[in-house]
Amino acid sequence: MNLTSMQHNKVTVSVIGASGYSGAELVKLLMKHPGIIIDELYAHTQAGKRFTELYPAIPCDKTFQTYSGQTDSDVYFLALPHGEALQLVPGIVKAGKKVIDLSGDFRLTSTAEHKHFYGGDKSAEDVLQYGMPELFRDEIAGSTAISNPGCYATSIILGLAPLFRGGMAGLEVESVNVTAVSGISGAGRSAKLELSFSEMSGNMRAYKVGKHQHTPEIMQALGTSATDPSFRFVMTPMIAPYVRGIYSVLNVRLASPVALESIRELYAEFYASAPFVRLRDGVTEVSHVAYTNFCDVSLAFESDGSLVVITAIDNLMKGAAGQAVQNMNLMLGFDETTALL
């Protein structure tokens, strides 16, 4: 399907798992996309309710349905809990439809790492093209099924990718120590006592230290693995009492000194054709990217020679729904930024 035909015949899109925060963000973006029509919204636990009952601020007139294998739409987004997409995606792909899956089910090539970090089994065939446009734009454009990156992974990979994939001669990373802070929406919409207002107001805490499921995804995208890493990697995820956004501070130890201006030039060149990555002169903030699909990057050096990379994204946009729509645009031949600016 080319862009000319789609301009006359809009693409039909359905969302499976549309009642969660990422699903609702997808609906909001798809409603303003000029090339698509929302077909169905599926949400098993909310079936029969109107979308506006859950999200009054988003004027979508659809009623949630139960998904039972329908393949009538041209494109399917899946925003389901980890493990559920493994059962659904093969049938949708077999029916000749395009798929963007927002879970971690199809990200990892290593079945052992998937089992260790996600706690479930999958076959070696359960891998889709990784959907990070800044790294795999051409591959995404030629794919029918995409595994959308995780939110922490997006913020950290985009902060490190030029160091590992930018081709600077003599540049070697010895270690990376990450502290990444997420807003509460990153934990999803289901009620949890530890995420209630009385527990989180004025509070902040680390979680999944040393075992976060995005660790192997990050390492894989950087050309190594969590089980046999080519550099030392430590990630400490944290949750803070704000709603949306991920703020990652990456302390990078380089094998030999490199001038900051050279690093800035490396990043600027690497992201020259990336419309949603912005290299900032000052220190970025979560508020700079909230409700947008941008990833802002700041660079500095510590007094001991360590490179400090700071990134900020909106976890529901660039970390989920926004990047998913960006991938859909590439798959369908739309301008990459459609409905995202």
Calculate mean pLDDT across residues 241-249.
96
What are the residues whose beta carbons fall under 8 Å from the beta carbon of 47, sequence distance 6 or more?
64, 65, 66
How big is the chain by its Cα radius of gyration, in Å? 20
In a domain, 340, yes or no: no
pLDDT (tens digit, 9 = 90+) per residue, 121-172?
Answer: 999 999 999 999 999 999 999 999 999 999 999 999 999 999 999 999 989 9
Co-location of 126 and 115 in the same domain: yes
Q: What is the pLDDT of residue 8?
A: 55
- The band of 2, judged by pLDDT with boundaries at 50, 70 and 90, is very low
Percent with pLDDT over 70 in the chain: 97
Q: Is 60 a catalytic residue?
A: no
Q: Both 53 and 144 in a single domain?
A: yes
- At 185, the amino acid letter reads S
**pLDDT exceeds 80 at position 295:** yes
Residue 86 clears pLDDT 60, i.e. is over it: yes
Would you say residue 3 has pLDDT above 80?
Answer: no
| Domain identity same for 16 and 142 | yes
DSSP string, 202-257: T--EE-STTT-TTHHHHHHHTTS-SSS-SSEEEEEEEE-SSSS-EEEEEEEEESS-
- How many whole angstroms separate alpha carbon 134 and alpha carbon 271? 7
Catalytic residue, candidates 108, 151, 173, 331: 151
Domain with 38, as residue range(s), is 3-149+319-332
Q: What pLDDT band is residue 191 in, cutting at 50, 70 and 90?
A: low
The count of structural domains within the chain is 2
Q: What is the mean pLDDT of residues 266-274?
A: 98
This prediction has a pTM of: 0.94
Q: Domain with 87 in it: what CATH number?
A: 3.40.50.720
CATH number of the domain residue 306 falls in = 3.30.360.10
Sign of CA dihedral 31, 34, 39, 41: negative
